[in-house]
Amino acid sequence: MTRGVQGERRLGGCVKMCPMGNTADQIATQRRPLPSSLTKDIEQAGYYPALVADVVASAVAGDEVVSHLVHQETTFDHDTVRRHITVLALTPTRLVVAHADDYAGEGGHAESESGETLATAAATATATATSECVPLSVVRGVMLTHVVASPATYVPGSLGRELTLTLGWGAVSRVDMVPASCGDPNCEADHGYEGTVTTDDIGLRISADADGEPALAQAMAFARALSEAIGR
């Protein structure tokens, strides 16, 4: 008997033996590759690119990627440097959000500024990658906050050198409370509190000085594409 076969396929009066395929290979065959521009941006970020690309491709699930944004953020926790990466991919029907970060495993230390524990951290680190697919029909808002230095000399069309992109679809909400008043400056009664509820599911800060002008332009292009998609 021939080994390494999965089953039989009957063609007329003949029997054809089908070779056993690897599950990962079958998934890779069925999966449409990510756009080269998105793959390039993930690789340039340099944060576990193979893992991040696989997670994004799995979440996109073969859909066409209309626009994307790759943002890497570095944070400092005492003497520890931590990196995170967020990938936003817009398809014709969904907003795909992927986020990855890592932490030191047992017996290891996160990457220090001096780099002394870098080898130990690489050997013991554990990465966590999460993806979320949000239907465009439930995306409630795209908010851009532009930071402009020296507004008196603002150049039309420049839109500043820093922006914060905030997206909301109702999964996370922020409540801002302030003391209520009746408008009478002499009133000392307690009127309770009033506030506003704002959806704040994800926020990314992009700076031309820190991330480069192409990253800033890409963030604005992605925001425009997403705004157009949810406005249809």
H/E stretch holding 206 reads strand 202-207
How many CA atoms lie less than 13 Å away from 187 in the CB half-sphere? 8
Q: Quick check: 179 pLDDT over 70? A: yes
Which pLDDT score is estimated for 215?
A: 93
Local confidence band at 25 (pLDDT 50, 70, 90 cut-offs): low
Which pLDDT score is estimated for 145?
A: 93
Q: Quick check: 16 pLDDT over 80? A: no
H/E stretch holding 216 reads helix 213-230
H/E stretch holding 215 reads helix 213-230
Average pLDDT, the chain: 78
Q: Concatenate the DSSP letters of all residues of 144-190 into one string.
A: EEEE-SSGGGPPTT---SEEEEEEE-SSSEEEEEEE---S-TT----
Which pLDDT score is estimated for 55?
A: 96
- Residue spans of alpha helices (H) in the chain: 23-30, 36-45, 49-60, 118-124, 208-211, 213-230
d(CA 165, CA 221): 11
The pLDDT of 14-30, averaged and rounded, is 46
Share of the chain above pLDDT 70, in %: 69
Which pLDDT score is estimated for 177?
A: 61
Q: Quick check: 4 pLDDT over 50? A: no
Torsion, Cα 129 170 174 146, to 10 degrees, reads 80
The pLDDT of 192-196, averaged and rounded, is 65
d(CA 110, CA 84): 13
Which pLDDT score is estimated for 199?
A: 55
Q: Quick check: 116 pLDDT over 60? A: no
Domains of the chain, by residue range, sit at: 30-136, 141-230
Do 229 and 136 contact (CB within 8 A), yes or no?
yes
Q: How far apart are the first and last CA of the chain?
A: 60
Per residue in 33-69, pLDDT tens? 899 999 999 999 999 999 999 999 999 999 999 999 9
The pLDDT of 108-130, averaged and rounded, is 60
Which pLDDT score is estimated for 61?
A: 93
Q: Quick check: 12 pLDDT over 90? A: no
Bigger pLDDT: 185 or 133? 133
